[in-house]
Amino acid sequence: MTAPLARRRWAPFLLAAAASVPAEALAQAQQAPTLSAGNTAWVLTATALVLFMTLPGLALFYGGLVRAQSVLSVLMQCSAIACLASVLWLAFVYSLAFGDGGPAVGYLGKAFLASVKADALAGDIPESVFFMFQMTFAIITPALICGAYPERMRFSAVVLFSALWLIVVYAPVAHWVWGGGWAQKLGVMDFAGGIVVHATAGVSALVLAWMLGPRAGFPGEVKPPHSPGMTMAGGAMLWVGWFGFNAGSALAANHAAGSAMVATHVSAAAAALTWMAIEWVRFGKPSLVGIVTGMVAGLATVTPGSGYIGPIGALVYGVLAGGVCFAAVVWVKKRLKVDDSLDVFGVHGVGGIMGTLLAAVFGSAALGGAGLSEGASMGSQLGVQALTLAATVAWSALATFAIGKVAAALTGGLRVPREQEADGLDLVTHGERGYSF
Amino acid sequence: MKYIIAIVKPHKLDDVRNALTGVGVQGMTATEVKGFGRQKGQTEIYRGAEYAVSFLPKVKLEIAVDDAIADRVVDAIKESAHTGRIGDGKIFVLELQSALRIRTGETGSDAL
């Protein structure tokens, strides 16, 4: 059964392509899809849930993990990126990602939505709703990278880097996978953004953290998270919001949305328990930061497979997410010695990549999934998944390096001076303090 | 007069206060402080990474008392703040030269 895949994101572009051929226009008009009120209502709701993931979910999740002197700077970075990505999305990034175009990137036909009529449909929902839903993904993806550079990156560099990254990395990869680009034509399976969101953000975070250098005192003398409670509150918002992220990516109120919600929840819970168990056995104490981190790992990992896999597949996803992401987080900090401070690569990058590969396995009908792409075997699907990931990882890494160099040159260096880092970015950069003692 | 400074575990603060009012102490100042002694801080583990917390939270009490009750005050703190585990804290006793109550202008032990 390939129905969920076929429903996914393709519909608007096939319709748009058809509409551009005058000879077929009349025939299309006669059987033009009508607006589904049910689907529209669900995607509207899901859009709000996904925005809530970034503001305040991700902001609080990250904010609790830094020092008290820098908590506001993290909230500020997430807020500024959300606003910036929104304006750029309208201006031309939506068109780059989802406008008609070539295999690599969309053209500028939908810049400022100027050419999109008020009653235009994307599938059977308004294109305005599709635009908004996708915008919330374009907001959270660069915001995820905030976890790589807290407490030390210059704010002007954060703003410039995020803007360029959205244009150069997010837009093309979204086009490859969802917007009618080459990977979609190969039949890649990425239900809600294991490649487009988590692999891009995770790899870019690792490269940027490496370019930036570690926080003062890393690894031995870095201060512990200042508010695990804030992290838990933010993580819980991410969990709730993720229902919109994954189940909303069905772009319909249908069976795929329902099974995506089941998979999302099961994977998060199983990953959280796995992470907790590992800490309990290894360190003697199951920690709140640990269970919340495991939960987010489970959510990120299940994202690409969520609409394709069955509930038992989701359980396997979750257990693997907890174990593998835990190992990855430790490996990056202890072996690679890169201060990807809040573990964007270990949790999102590794989780998203693993989940994308696993989709080719647990998406198959034989293992309880909804079926692979038409005509694909498990092996050929795995090849498509791996090829798309390889291109995404390579492009994300190279482009991030180049963008980082440009941002550094234009803002006077990516890092704030050492003494400002020691004082904390809240007062130094934003003139505010998170707490008065 | 004696000026007594006691560093105690934060969760012992209420016990110490009750014990001191029991021996006639009229007032005290409590401050949240950080420090280390033989306990030397502790290690916390987040996401598999160890963080050395080298200053631990304590409460510092400052109490000015008449010579007559100074020994009883020290004993009361010693007993009420005691857990027997490392990090229970310390008590310092200093000679106090003078005291003055701002509202009335009283001085010496009348001001305590």
Residues in CB range of A379: below 8 A, 6 or more apart: none
User: pLDDT digits over A281-320, tens only?
Assistant: 999 999 999 999 999 999 999 999 999 999 999 999 999 9
Residue A68 CA to residue B45 CA, distance in Å, equals 18
Structural element, H or E, at residue A294: helix A288-302
| Smallest CA–CA distance from A220 into chain B, residue | B51
3-state secondary structure A374-425: CCCCHHHHHHHHHHHHHHHHHHHHHHHHHHHHHHHHHHCCCECCHHHHHHCH
Q: How far is B48 from chain A (nearest CA, A)?
A: 6
The answer to whether A289 contacts B46, with C-beta atoms less than 8 Å apart, is yes
B84 Cβ under 8 Å from any chain A Cβ:
no
Which ranges constitute the DSSP H helices of A198-254? 200-212, 228-242
Residue A127 CA to residue A139 CA, distance in Å, equals 18
CA A324 to chain centre: 19
Peptide bond into A219 cis (omega under 30): yes
In A90-206, DSSP assigns E strands to 121-122, 125-126
Nearest to A330 among B44, B48, B51 (CB): B48
The overall average pLDDT reported for chain B is 93
From the candidates B46, B53, B55, which should be mutated to test the interface with A, based on the most A CB atoms within 10 A? B46
| Smallest CA–CA distance from A330 into chain B, residue | B48
Model ipTM value:
0.77
The answer to whether A329 contacts B46, with C-beta atoms less than 8 Å apart, is no
The overall average pLDDT reported for chain A is 93
pLDDT in the model for residue A31: 65
pLDDT in the model for residue B53: 84
B102 Cβ under 8 Å from any chain A Cβ:
no
Residue A116 CA to residue A97 CA, distance in Å, equals 15
Residues in CB range of A397: below 8 A, 6 or more apart: A203, A204, A206, A207
Quickly name the fold that domain B2-111 has. Answer: Alpha-Beta Plaits (3.30.70)
**Is the CB of residue A302 less than 8 Å from the CB of residue A268?**
yes
Peptide bond into A56 cis (omega under 30): yes
User: pLDDT digits over A198-253, tens only?
Assistant: 999 999 999 999 999 999 999 888 889 999 999 999 999 999 999 999 999 999 99
The answer to whether B47 contacts A289, with C-beta atoms less than 8 Å apart, is yes
**Is the CB of residue B3 less than 8 Å from the CB of residue B95?**
yes
Domains of chain A: 37-430 (1.10.3430.10)
Domain boundaries of chain B, sorted by first residue:
2-111
**3-state class of A418 per DSSP?**
helix
B 19-48 near A (Cβ less than 8 A): 44-48
**Is the CB of residue A224 less than 8 Å from the CB of residue B53?**
yes
Q: Binning pLDDT at 50, 70 and 90, where does residue B38 land?
A: confident
- For residue A134 the two structure tokens come to 């996708």
pLDDT in the model for residue A220: 82
Q: What is the CA radius of gyration of chain A?
A: 21
> In chain A, which residues touch B (CB < 8 A)?
65, 219-225, 279, 282-283, 285, 287, 289-290, 293, 326, 329-330, 333-334, 343
Which residues from chain A sit within 8 angstroms of residue B48, using beta carbons?
279, 282, 326, 329-330, 333-334
Q: HSE, CB side, 13 Å, CA atoms: give it for residue A83.
A: 6
One-letter identity of residue A67? R
Residue A284 CA to residue A71 CA, distance in Å, equals 29
In the predicted structure, residue B66 carries a pLDDT above the cut 70: yes
Positions in chain A short of pLDDT 70: 1-31, 437
